[in-house]
Amino acid sequence: MDGRGGTRARGRRGSRTAAPRGRGAPRSAARSPSRGRVAGESPSDATTRQAPRTDGPPARGGRPGRRAPTATALPAAGVEPPLTPRSRAPAARVPEASQKVPVVPDGAAAAPVAVPRPPPDTLRLREVLSRLSLGRKDVSEASKLVNLVVPHLFQTIRSRDGAFSSMEQYSAGSYYERVKISQPNEFDIMFVICVESLQLDESDDTGAYYYLTFKRNPKEKYFLKFLDEDGKLSAFKMLQALREIIKQEVKNFKNVEVTVTRKKAGSPAITLQIKNPPLDISVDIILTLKVQHSWPPSTQDGLKIEQWLGTKARRDFKFTALYLVAKQNKREKVLKGNTWRLSFSHIEKRMMENHGHSRTCCESHGSKCCRKGCLKLLKYLLEQLKMQYPKELEKFCSYHVKTALFHSCVMWPNDTDWILEDLDHCFQKCLEYFMECLQKSQLPHFFIPKYNLLSLQERASNHFLSRQISHQLNNRFPIFQESC
């Protein structure tokens, strides 16, 4: 261990139970000489003939070292051979007793024990990533339309209703985190209202959902009209008021066609559809409350980023205000629409922007890592599987794989664990961790560890997704080739 929860840098060998053989040394005489014998050669020749070396020192990230190239392995039936002049032999990633084991954060599922699998092909994965990159022209056109519509709506809403007069506009989501894939057709915008006089009460034992009530003689008198019969601030009433203003205002746009889509049950967003043939642009406007309140006890053991991003970064994040979105808690027996859910999207954005253990990670003068590349591939894999199995995988979303990546970054905190050239191995270890979570139906929320993002009542769906991912991993991701 390097003292920061990760493994030591490249070049350190783990201890072995026997002295290592030299590169030209014969294998142990205890091994059957007939094994691997070439037709026509004698047992003695087979014994002395040097076999390809299959062992190696433990490499970075707590995984075994790479193998020397061997004879080209045939791909699974129906799978194209790797797009590389020489194929890497399938690596049997069986950990040695002397290997360093990555530290698992409190509340996170344990890292899975590696099993022998054919590794993905780096060149092929890079090809997939290049296809997922957003075109500059498409990005420019889409952002131009969004910047035409959203600021106008924002200013109109602030002037129409006193409750929204102090509202601020924040960008969030995958587009602004630069992990959006395929098309720049989805944007998340937070309309944030700062409220000082609120107090929080947990609505259940997850630590994620809260009732909000006002203290005596609140400064924000405008919000009293949004209270329900129990004196709780109604997320439903506030979201409905915001929705009505937006529906009226989008009719006034002359140069662009904007509509408000039908409300989705339980969604905290008001979704705009901007006409932009051949692909419309979707903008989620998320009503968010910013509360000057210390983080609740449920978050105390979350955000374990000390070894990854540093103690100071964690302290700075924890001192920021609390954000809550208008989200219905479906566990309630009577759905009144008066619950609010904690939101950390503003912090997740900062974590993705400054994602390295070192300050210079992925900067112009720094080393490049593959953390964002792994997240894009995880999202794309889930997206393609959901297209094939929409009913079975309906409950899963990109936030599941994003959370799995955050936990992986904590277990492997060093930048040397995520070298760009090791994209295949890094992607594989992220998938193995996520599959372990699916098999246990246990994926802790990164900020609220006791909040499980995988329902125990949905074990069948969790296991189904785990099997599908395992099939893709064992067959070198045929779904990536099918989606070309």
Residues 215-267 pLDDT 10s: 877 777 888 899 999 899 999 999 999 999 999 999 989 888 999 998 887 78
- pLDDT score of 484: 54
pLDDT band at 315 (very low <50, low <70, confident <90, very high): very high
pLDDT band at 88 (very low <50, low <70, confident <90, very high): very low
pLDDT above 80 (res 482): no
Q: For 2-8, what is the mean pLDDT?
A: 43
428 in the Ramachandran plot: left (φ > 0), alpha (ψ -120 to 50) or beta? alpha
What is the value of pTM for the model shown?
0.74
- pLDDT score of 222: 84
Spatial separation of the C-alpha atoms in residues 185 and 141, rounded to whole Å: 10
- pLDDT score of 379: 95
Q: For 324-342, what is the mean pLDDT?
A: 87
Q: For 352-364, what is the mean pLDDT?
A: 90
Spatial separation of the C-alpha atoms in residues 483 and 138, rounded to whole Å: 20
Q: What is the DSSP letter of 452?
A: B
Q: What's the CATH number for 102-132+357-484?
A: 1.10.1410.40
351 in the Ramachandran plot: left (φ > 0), alpha (ψ -120 to 50) or beta? alpha
Among 31-40, 153-162, 187-196, 398-407, name the most confident range.
398-407
Q: What is the DSSP letter of 224?
A: G
Could you report the per-residue pLDDT of 256-283, keeping only the tens digit for each? Answer: 899 999 888 778 899 999 998 888 899 9
Residue bearing the bigger pLDDT, 83 or 438: 438
Element (H, E) at 365: none
Task: Write the DSSP assignment of 277-340 as a string of letters.
Answer: TTS-EEEEEEEEEEE--PPPGGGTT----TTTT-HHHHHHHHTSPEEEE----TTSSS--S--E
Spatial separation of the C-alpha atoms in residues 94 and 84, rounded to whole Å: 25
What is the share, in percent, of the chain residues with pLDDT greater than 70? 74
Least confident of 59-63, 112-116, 475-479: 59-63
The topology (CATH level 3) of 134-354 is Beta Polymerase; domain 2 (3.30.460)
Could you report the per-residue pLDDT of 117-138, keeping only the tens digit for each? Answer: 555 666 789 889 988 887 777 7
- pLDDT score of 163: 84
- pLDDT score of 21: 42
**C-alpha closest to that of 209 among 337, 339, 323:** 339
pLDDT above 60 (res 99): no
Among 76-80, 155-159, 480-484, name the most confident range.
155-159
Residue bearing the bigger pLDDT, 333 or 126: 126
- pLDDT score of 91: 42
Look-up of token digits 């007793």? 97
pLDDT above 60 (res 209): yes
Q: What is the mean pLDDT of the chain?
A: 79
Residue bearing the bigger pLDDT, 75 or 319: 319
Q: What are the domain boundaries of the chain?
A: 102-132+357-484, 134-354
Q: Give 274's contacts (C-beta < 8 A, 6+ positions apart).
A: 145, 146, 149, 256, 257, 258, 280, 281, 282, 283
Omega of the bond leading into 278 within 30 degrees of 0 (cis): yes
Residue 473: CA atoms inside 13 Å, Cβ hemisphere, count? 27
Could you report the per-residue pLDDT of 429-472, keeping only the tens digit for each? Answer: 999 999 999 999 999 999 999 999 998 899 999 999 999 999 99
Residue bearing the bigger pLDDT, 131 or 210: 210
